[in-house]
Amino acid sequence: MTGPPRNFRVLVFGYSCSAYGNYLNLVALSLFTLVVTGGPLGVGIVMALRLGAGFGAGIVAGRLVNRFDRRRLMIGTDLVQAAAMVGLAAGPRHVAPLVAAAVVLGAGNTLFTVALRSSVPAMVGQEQRVKANGRLVTGRSLGTVLGFASAGIVVGTGGFDAAFYVNAASFVVSAVSLAALRLPTRTGDGPAGTATGDLTGRLLALAGPVVVLMVAVRGADAFGSASHNMAIPLYANQLDPVNPAVVMSQFWASWAIGTLLAHQVVRRVSLGERAFALGTCLMAVSFVLAFAVPAGPALIAVALLAGLADGFTEIVYTSRLQEAPDEQRGRLFGMSATAETAGFATGMVASSALLEVAPALTVVAAFHGVAVLAAAGLFAVTFVRRRTAAPVAQET
């Protein structure tokens, strides 16, 4: 086999449609929340609830994907999210339906992601998981570009209801693609173990300290990413007070195109913990540089590089965790989702406070510096382990 099964494209198509709806809704729901709650504080509270739901779902997601049929779990998650968006569009403009939808979206996205990432090796085989992950990242990137690009048009012509219905339809398309997919979602690895105790202790015993350290680096990366998500509107307004949306479009469109190219890079380099650490460092440095260059070609080039590194690290990271046995994968991706959500939520709160008193470049550099230090620590650990293992291999 030279690639994933051909019918895997059905899943990629559905996943791309879902990503399109999600990123379209990211813009629409933020604006809708501002209208319903009446101010930025309400937007922050609703976002916190959504992230909190994702954090909670990450804690139990590993158990759920190990206990229940993963295909049905993903289909059910899609349909529940679709129902939440239909309810939000058809219901009254009140805070209660908005909060309910935010909680459903936060928990649903986390649970779906954990189930999907845990299922990929069973769907395509371990030898094809990197290519499959690359196709999923590429499909999501296409959905991101189209979602951001069309958000203004959809909301402007059809209002918030149109955006919510489109998002609901995208979830239905994803569910149908999963229902039509005739690929297994679980391998016959058998149980990974029945050790008791805290989750981190079990994973250290099952996956090893390097993999757990990779999860920690991913959480630190999410912490840093929160800072540039909070700072880019301020920096765009500083660069172009008349039309900051142009600067933001340049940034995010270039980033998305960079993630599209990541699949091509992955095919040409060796993968592993070191590649993940170096990619994380490159991504962090690129995001920092984006706040030190003027709008135009320089910003486009740096954002493109950031997107390339972002897509690359995600493919490498996901593929590395998927090396684990089936039962262990659910736990790993559940812990990963919890770490990423916690890092992003903490980063949003801390960076928003610091941006009140410090320049955007300073805040973004400090937060992404945490990710660089964590990645450097991972690189050092892998280097020492290889140096230690080399003499043992020579003696053998």
Neighbours of 39 (CB within 10 A): 9
pLDDT mean over 13-33: 90
The predicted pLDDT at position 303 comes to 93
Please write the tens of the pLDDT for every residue from 335-379.
Answer: 899 999 999 989 988 988 898 889 999 999 999 999 999 999 999
Count of domains in the chain? 2
- For 293, residues 6+ apart whose C-beta sits below 8 A from its C-beta are 299, 302
pLDDT mean over 112-127: 91
Please write the tens of the pLDDT for every residue from 310-330.
Answer: 999 999 999 888 888 887 888
Angle of helix 8-37 versus helix 129-180 axis, rounded to 10: 80
List, in sequence order, every beta strand (DSSP E) within the chain. Answer: none
Structural domain of 62: 1-184
Assess whether pLDDT exceeds 70 at residue 189: no
pLDDT mean over 204-220: 81
Distance between CA atoms of residues 161 and 30, nearest Å: 13
Is 105 a domain residue? Answer: yes
Task: Say if CB 145 and CB 257 are below 8 A apart.
Answer: yes
The predicted pLDDT at position 193 comes to 41
The tokens describing 76, both together, are: 């059910």
Work out the mean pLDDT of the chain and round it to a whole number.
86
Q: Could you tell me the pLDDT band of residue 190, with boundaries at 50, 70 and 90? A: very low
Structural domain ending residue among the three candidates 139, 156, 184 = 184
The model carries a pTM of: 0.84
Q: Could you tell me the pLDDT band of residue 200, with boundaries at 50, 70 and 90? A: low
Instruction: Say yes or no: 208 and 137 in one domain.
Output: no
Tell which wins on pLDDT, 182 or 104. Answer: 104
Residue 269 φ then ψ, to 5° = -130, 160
Instruction: Say yes or no: 140 and 278 in one domain.
Output: no
Instruction: Say yes or no: 243 and 302 in one domain.
Output: yes
Task: Say if CB 145 and CB 251 are below 8 A apart.
Answer: no
Instruction: Say yes or no: 215 and 175 in one domain.
Output: no
The closest alpha carbon to 290, from 334, 255, 322, belongs to 255
The closest alpha carbon to 72, from 169, 173, 175, belongs to 175
Is 136 a domain residue? Answer: yes
Residue with tokens 């390097």: 210
Tell which wins on pLDDT, 233 or 115. Answer: 115
Instruction: Say yes or no: 230 and 300 in one domain.
Output: yes
Instruction: Say yes or no: 107 and 225 in one domain.
Output: no
- Least confident window among 14-28, 84-98, 160-174, 263-277: 263-277
* Three-class secondary structure of residue 295 per DSSP: coil
Instruction: Say yes or no: 120 and 36 in one domain.
Output: yes
Instruction: Say yes or no: 211 and 273 in one domain.
Output: yes
Please write the tens of the pLDDT for every residue from 24-67.
Answer: 888 888 888 888 888 767 777 888 899 899 999 998 998 899 88
Identity at 387, one-letter amino acid code: R
Is 139 a domain residue? Answer: yes
The predicted pLDDT at position 188 comes to 64
pLDDT mean over 75-95: 94
Distance between CA atoms of residues 155 and 26, nearest Å: 12
The predicted pLDDT at position 343 comes to 93
Structural domain ending residue among the three candidates 131, 151, 184 = 184
Instruction: Say yes or no: 207 and 77 in one domain.
Output: no
* Three-class secondary structure of residue 270 per DSSP: coil
**Distance of CA 243 to CAs 12, 163, 248, Å?**
35, 24, 9
